Amino acid sequence: MSGIVIVGAQWGDEGKGKIVDVFSAKADYVVRYQGGANAGHTLVVNGVKTVLHLVPSGILHPETNCIIASGVVIDIEGLVKEIETLKSNGYLANPKQLLISDSATIILPYHKVLDAAREKALDGAKIGTTGKGIGPAYEDRAARRAIVLSDIFEKDTLKEKLELALLEKNALFQSTYKLESVNVDELMKWIAPLAEKLAPYRSRDTSAVVHKAIKNGKKVLFEGAQGTLLDILHGTYPYVTSSSTVAGSACIGTGIGPTSISKVIGIMKAYTTRVGSGPFPTELKDELGERMRSQGHEFGATTGRPRRCGWLDLVALRYAIRVNGITNLALIKMDVLTGLDKIGVCTAYELDGEIIHEFPSKAADLERIKPVIEYMPGWKEDLTKLTNLKDLPRTATSYIDFIGNQLGAPIDVISVGPGREQTLWVKPLFTN
């Protein structure tokens, strides 16, 4: 078994992209299995920034095969742009390095229009979607009227399927949202050049490719998007994304069995952030939160939206460890906490006068809880140049030890900056 899942242990934006990039130097395959272009992974290699939304982060290593599996929803226009940018930056010289599942759902402009129209109509009660059409595309998948990648290469099938998919949508656009209806022929003209550009990457069966790789002992990394608390079933519903973000989704989205997974790495920031609406128990709405936002550059890679910031929440993290089956942790952005006199950590919640240690399943309870915060001494030293764990300030080590002990999972990697080299190794990934 050589399948390792990398999953966000908080509300997304934990720095999964950097960790996948670092590990993918040693991986044979990197697989994206859920979500769409609402994830924005930011990678910094030799000071050059690359933002990836759909293509797996492993693409920056020419020897690593990258797969976009069936569970992903693909914005075909965005994907073509991403591929072209990668190519013009000297990556993806060999088209065989990227395989896209023929059965992945595709996102078309009408999904985005619907997303925006609904969000506008909701007004005060916004979910905080990124407006990328992801939710409507997943809805279509469940309603069995999705357009899948293979459809865009077969004109007749595409026309038939688009007509069916647009029946209801056009009625909705005209009557409810007072928008123009979508013309199928025009849409097909828009799709044709994109299909041509994606043709070299299509794969009839990515599940079989991954299965074979694992069977042959290849190292396969499954790259999660967003975070545990945004999971459609296990997140802070309804303030969640439209796909399953927990580690089990790697199996479902790829089409492999759970027995193929040997490790689940949970990526966590040294503090907590959240984008958009929804409960956030440890949020700091003061200058401390402001400081984390500016020091940590906490603005969305996709939308540019400012992220809400707060102390580390161990209750939420214990929950993430449970629902994902996290075996190992990576602690990111330790450098951002430099300069604070004291650092808060939430160790429990208070709900209606009672101390609880479990994450409430009801979002409404989560809105009402008060976090129990313990404070630890901070450090003043710059961590960004460190290359060895031993050189961490004593108070930083105590903070890390405290987190590891409280969570009961080993912290294998500590990150002290966005660059590949700013990574303190505790334990290599591909060993037991």
- Residues involved in catalysis: 13, 41
Name the residue type at position 334.
M
39 touches ligand GDP by CB under 6 A: yes
Closest CB to ligand GDP among residues 57, 203: 57
CB of 132 to ligand GDP, least distance (A): 14
Residues from 83 through 112 that contact ligand GDP (CB under 6 A) = none
DSSP reduced 3-state for 128: coil
276 touches ligand GDP by CB under 6 A: no
Closest CB to ligand GDP among residues 82, 140: 82
What token pair was written down for 328?
């190992």
Please list the residues that pair with 32 across neighbouring strands.
Answer: 68, 223
What token pair was written down for 430?
């591909």
What token pair was written down for 88?
């013009």
- Kindly indicate which of the ranges 175-183, 188-196, 398-406, 416-424 contains the residues binding ligand GDP, using the contact rule CB under 6 A: 416-424
User: Distance of CA 287 to CAs 113, 274, 290, 341, Å?
Assistant: 37, 17, 5, 14
- Kindly indicate which of the ranges 12-20, 67-75, 109-117, 394-402 contains the residues binding ligand GDP, using the contact rule CB under 6 A: 12-20
Q: In the set 31, 104, 146, 336, which binds ligand GDP (CB under 6 A)? A: 336
Rounded Cα–Cα distance for residues 170 and 115 (Å): 14
Name the residue type at position 233.
L
- β-pairing, 308-310 with 272-274? antiparallel
Q: In the set 3, 4, 7, 8, which binds ligand GDP (CB under 6 A)? A: 8
Closest CB to ligand GDP among residues 213, 317: 317
- Kindly indicate which of the ranges 77-85, 101-109, 309-317, 328-336 contains the residues binding ligand GDP, using the contact rule CB under 6 A: 328-336
Rounded Cα–Cα distance for residues 30 and 250 (Å): 11
332 touches ligand GDP by CB under 6 A: yes
CB of 379 to ligand GDP, least distance (A): 15
360 touches ligand GDP by CB under 6 A: no
Name the residue type at position 43.
L
What token pair was written down for 376?
């630890």
Closest CB to ligand GDP among residues 13, 412: 13
Cβ 81 vs Cβ 54: under 8 Å? no
Residues from 282 through 311 that contact ligand GDP (CB under 6 A) = 296, 301
Q: In the set 5, 27, 41, 272, which binds ligand GDP (CB under 6 A)? A: 41
Q: In the set 5, 7, 11, 13, which binds ligand GDP (CB under 6 A)? A: 13
CB of 309 to ligand GDP, least distance (A): 13
- Kindly indicate which of the ranges 35-43, 159-167, 209-217, 236-244 contains the residues binding ligand GDP, using the contact rule CB under 6 A: 35-43
- Kindly indicate which of the ranges 71-79, 107-115, 284-292, 327-335 contains the residues binding ligand GDP, using the contact rule CB under 6 A: 327-335
Distance of CA 82 to the CA centre of its chain: 17
Of the candidates 384, 424, 428, the residue with the CA atom closest to the CA atom of residue 400: 424
- Kindly indicate which of the ranges 34-42, 75-83, 109-117, 142-150 contains the residues binding ligand GDP, using the contact rule CB under 6 A: 34-42
Rounded Cα–Cα distance for residues 113 and 133 (Å): 7
What's the burial of 42, exposed, middle or buried (CB within 10 Å: 0-12/13-18/19+)? middle
Q: In the set 18, 141, 202, 219, which binds ligand GDP (CB under 6 A)? A: 18
Angle between the 184-198 and 155-175 helix axes, to the nearest 10 degrees?
Answer: 130
77 touches ligand GDP by CB under 6 A: no
Q: In the set 335, 344, 399, 400, which binds ligand GDP (CB under 6 A)? A: 335
User: Distance of CA 237 to CAs 30, 225, 269, 270, 379, Å?
Assistant: 29, 17, 22, 24, 37
Q: In the set 15, 135, 255, 289, which binds ligand GDP (CB under 6 A)? A: 15
281 touches ligand GDP by CB under 6 A: no
Q: What are the backbone angles phi and psi of residue 348, rounded to the nearest 5°? A: -160, 170
Distance of CA 419 to the CA centre of its chain: 19
Which positions lie near ligand GDP, rule CB under 6 A? 8, 13-18, 39-42, 44, 296, 301, 332-333, 335-336, 415-418
